[in-house]
Structure 1
Amino acid sequence: MSPDLILPHEDVLPVFAARPVWCGRASTVIGTATIGAQAWLGDDSVIRSDGQTVTIGDRFWLGHRSTVHIATLTLATVVGDRVTVGRNAVVHACTVGSDVVIEDDVIVLDGAVVEDGVLIEAGSTVFPRARLPAGFACGGSPAKPLRPITAPEIAERAERLREASGDTPRPPEADEPELDDSVFVARTARLRGRIALGTGSSVLFSCLLDAEVGPIVVGADSNIQDNSVLRSRAEGIVIGRDTSIAHNVRLSDCRIGARSLIGIGCVVAPGTVVADDVLLAGGATTDPGQLLEGGYLWGGRPARVLAPLDADKRTLMRGIAEGYRVLGQTYKRVQETSL
C-alpha cells in the first residue's frame, strides 16, 4: 500500500527499495527521500525531503503523526536499519544509527547524532548538535545517557512500541472553508469549524485545525507546519502575521503574536499569550495563562527567558516565514497537478 500522498520536490520523487508493509491514512512522502525495504508508516506520518536528502534504512517504523524532515539547504537526515519511531515524534536534520528506538513525543533536533543501539525515552528532547553514545538509554530535556542498555532490551522496547501503536480512530470529516487563491492547505490536512486563513498562509501535511468552540485565525504569510495540532475548546486561537508554527506543535486556546516562531514539538497551554517577536525553542512548554514577553528567546518546561533576540535570530525567523510562504505556493502548484 502506497502513502496517501506522494509528491515530487523539484521534479524528484521519493524512492522505495520495496513496497512498504503498511502506509496509514493521510501518510505523506515528498521529494528526494530514499526508504529501505519493509517500511511501516503510520497514520498522518510525514517524510518530507525538500532541499536536502532523507535516507532511511530497512525495517523502518514511523509512528502515527510523526515527522521526518531536513534543514533546507543545510542538513540532511540519515536513519539506519531497524529504527523504530513512536507517535508524535520528530526526527529533524539529524543522523540516527541502526537498532535505535525513539519513543512517543521525542524530538531529535538539527545536527544531533544518535549512535547505534540507543533508546530515547518518551517525551525527551535531543538538543541540536548533541551526541547520544551507543548502548545507552537516554532521556530528559536535554536528553542525556541514563544507563547502559542491551540489544535484547532495545528489541523488546521496539516491539512494545509497535504493538502499542495499533490502529487509530478514523478522523472526523473535514470542513472546506473558502480560501484565498494565495493560501495553501495540504490535501492530508484537516480543518474543522470556524477557521480563517490569511493571504499567503499555509497549512502543511497532516495538520489538524479543530475549531470546536472558538475560531482559529491565522495571519497573513504565516505557516502551520507538518503534524501540528490546533484545538479550540474555549475562546479560540489567534496567530499573527509572518509567524511560523513548526512541526508537531500543539496549541490550545491561545494568542500568538506577529513575527514569532514556535519551535518543533512545543506545547502551548490554554490562555497563553505570546507577544510579537518571540522565539519559543523546540520542545518547550508553557503554563496555562503564561505571558511570553516580546523580543526574547524563551525555552524550557515551563518556558523562561533564555536570551534577548539578536539580529541573527530575527533574520532566521524572517527567513523561515518567507521560505514557507514561497514553499506553500510551490506545493500548491504541485498538489494541483498531482490530482
Structure 2
Amino acid sequence: MNRQRALITVFGGKKPDVEDAAFVSPTAAVIGDVTLHPGSSVWYGAVLRAEFEPIVVGAGSNVQDNCTLHVDIGFPISIGERVSIGHNAVVHGATIEDDCLIGMGATVLNGAVIGAGSLVAAQALVPQGMRVPPGSLVAGVPAKVKRPLTEEEREGVTLNGTHYTELARAHRAAQEEYGA
C-alpha cells in the first residue's frame, strides 16, 4: 500500500503553521508562509503557495480538491472563517471574508475583496481589485454583483462549510486509523 504524506514544506525560511486540528490531505501541497487555523481543511490535489506573502486560512474553512491559492508580491491571501473554496477554484492574492462560498472553477484575482457572507458563482472571474459588498451573489466573466443573497442561499453557504468540517474529521480519523 502506498502511504503518502502531504507536502508541507519550507520556502524562503518560512515553514507552514498547521494547527493540530487542521486537516491536510495526503496529496495536497502547502508551501511557505501558510497558516492553517483549527478546523480548516486542505483537500486532495490542492496547492497553497506562499513564497512572497502569507496565506492565512481561517478556522473552519475548506480549500477543496485541486484548488490553487497563490500570492503575488504585495498581494497576500486572507481566507476568513467558515469559508468554502470550491473544487478547482483559483484564489490569487485576494481577501475572502468570513462565511463565503467561492464556487467550483471560479477565479479571484489580486487585490479583490469578497465581502462577508457572499457567494461567487461557479466559473466566475473576479477581476483584480474588485470589491464585493457583503451578502452578495457574484457571477459572470468578468464577475458582476447580481443581487443580495437570499436567506436560503446564506443557509446553503453555511451548510457547505459545516459539511466539509465534518468530512475533514472523518478523513483525518480514517488516516489515523489506517496509518495513511
Relative to the length of structure 2, the TM-score reads 0.90
Q: Match for residue 87 of structure 2?
A: 247
What is the CA–CA distance in structure 2 between the aligned matches of 1:185 and 1:202, rounded to whole Å?
A: 6
Q: Which amino acid aligns with 2:162?
A: E
Return the letter of the residue paired with 1:323: H
List structure 1 runs of 4+ shifted beyond 4 angstroms: none
In 1, Cα distance between equivalents of 2:20 and 2:128: 36
Q: CA deviation at 1:174?
A: 4.0
Assess if the C-alpha contact under 8 Å between 1:222 and 1:241 holds in 2: yes
Which residue does the alignment assign to 2:47? Answer: 208
From 318, 321, 326, give the equivalent of 2:158.
318
Aligned with residue 99 of structure 2, among 255, 259, 280: 259
Answer 1 or 2: higher relative contact order, Cα 8 Å, separation at least 6.
2
**% same residue:** 35
Following superposition, the deviation at residue 264 of structure 1 comes to 0.2
Instruction: Report the 3-state secondary structure (helix = DSSP H, G, I; strand = E; otherwise coil) of the residue aligned with 2:105.
Output: coil
Question: Is the contact made by 1:246 and 1:264 (CA closer than 8 Å) also made in structure 2?
Answer: yes
Secondary structure at 1:194's aligned position in 2? strand
| Distance in 2 (alpha carbons) for counterparts of 1:261 and 1:237 | 15
Rg (Cα) greater in structure = 1
Structure 1: 5+ residue runs without aligned partners? Answer: 7-25, 27-172
Aligned partner (choices 132, 135, 152) of residue 292 of structure 1: 132
Mapped contact 2:72–2:110 kept (Cα < 8 A): no
| Cα offsets for 1:120-156 (capped at 9, x unmatched) | xxxxxxxxxxxxxxxxxxxxxxxxxxxxxxxxxxxxx
CA contact (8 A) 1:5 1:188 kept: no
- Corresponding residue to 1:223 among 62, 65, 81: 62
> Secondary structure of 2:167's match?
helix
Q: Using a 3 Å threshold, how does the CA distance of structure 1 residues 248 and 200 change in structure 2: closer, same or farther?
A: same
5 Å-filtered alignment, 1:69-218, equals 174-175=8-9, 177-218=16-57
In 2, Cα distance between equivalents of 1:299 and 1:183: 30
Could you list the per-position Cα deviations for residues 266-295 of structure 1 after superposition, in whole angstroms to 9, with x for gaps in the alignment?
011111111111100000001111111111
- Aligned length in residues: 172
Q: Structure 2 residue aligned with 1:330, among 149, 170, 180? A: 170
Q: CA deviation at 1:179?
A: 2.6
Q: CA deviation at 1:178?
A: 4.0
CA offset at residue 308 of structure 1? 1.4
Structure 1 segment 47-58 matched on structure 2, within 5 A: none
Mapped contact 2:17–2:36 kept (Cα < 8 A): no
Q: Tell me: CA distance 1:299–1:336, structure 2 relative to 1, closer, same or farther (3 Å).
A: same
Structure 2 unpaired stretches of 5+: 10-14
**CA-to-aligned-CA distance 1:40-88 (integer Å, 9 cap, x gap):** xxxxxxxxxxxxxxxxxxxxxxxxxxxxxxxxxxxxxxxxxxxxxxxxx
Contact 2:17 2:34 (C-alpha < 8 Å) held by counterparts: no
Give the structure 1 partner of residue 142 of structure 2. Answer: 302
